[in-house]
Structure 1
């Protein structure tokens, strides 16, 4: 009996030593081949890991590495190491969401008075509808939300990422439609520039802490 116990202890110690001396390239290959990557990390590597559900807010306008990996990363593939060799990231799964491409002109009532915003907003909307100014020109000159640098373009925006009042206003609209509305933040003029489409909306990422 003692011999069997000793054998199992020896196997465990050998496996642990192997996990501690594995090359990162080998760890990545074994993670990608594993049927249960979290269990592999816990039982074989003996490393700490965290599971993150990352929503993709906008396609083409990523806030950082997690967003970019969530969209561009391949399922099961392991990326990294990051943070000076401390972290690996594996994409475990993806779910779809609906995206609509829009442009915006935003007038901020914390910068201008309500009366000024109301006057400018109505004038811009009238000139846009009459074709006296292009949306891109108006956004570049007037928008206060940072999209003036992109001529108003916000890219493909995920359903659920916008202020609910804006989402309601653009629901069912066609490409080229322009709508104007107030929210608590200020006055928005929104143009639909791309019809709704399905794309990667969420990703489940696993961060493995090697050190």
Structure 2
């Protein structure tokens, strides 16, 4: 019985020793891998350094160690600001990625709207308006434009009054009557016939309107003078 216990303990010790040896072997392999990695990095770093030196010499660039040190310290001192800038850049990229489809749809809609304007003749209209402006500029001097600017309020006020509904209706009626008149068939009136026509109520009313208008126009002119 004692021999069996002894053998069991020996077997357990052997098993633990095997585990220890396996762990040591793994650590050795890791250490060798790290050493190989460092060796490879040293080779790559040396190649990069040699290449950088050659390129700097070819470009005739001189590096100041103090300036590099100052730059490194500057970067370290502003690491928080750099982090914020990177965060802003990431947010901008995300926004551009999200807004890309919307911008694309907006461009498509704008293209369709421009095509619609072209079909309706907007561009041709504005092109002709450009010719109108050219004609105005070529026919009027700077002094004319200055006088126009001085009287623009009066002109706009006059246009506003002329575009009142009752005034527009009167102008429209006058134009309609003039267009429907046949100039070749207008009857001739003698002085006697004219006096007889003037005795009619509608002619008296028209003469009253004309006389009243002339009186008020003359009175208004005297007041302004």
Kindly name which structure, 1 or 2, has the bigger radius of gyration based on alpha carbons.
2
Class of the TM-score when normalised by the shorter of the 2 chains: under 0.3
TM-score (norm 1): 0.19
The structure whose RCO (Cα within 8 Å, separation 6+) is larger is 1
Higher strand fraction (1 or 2)? 1
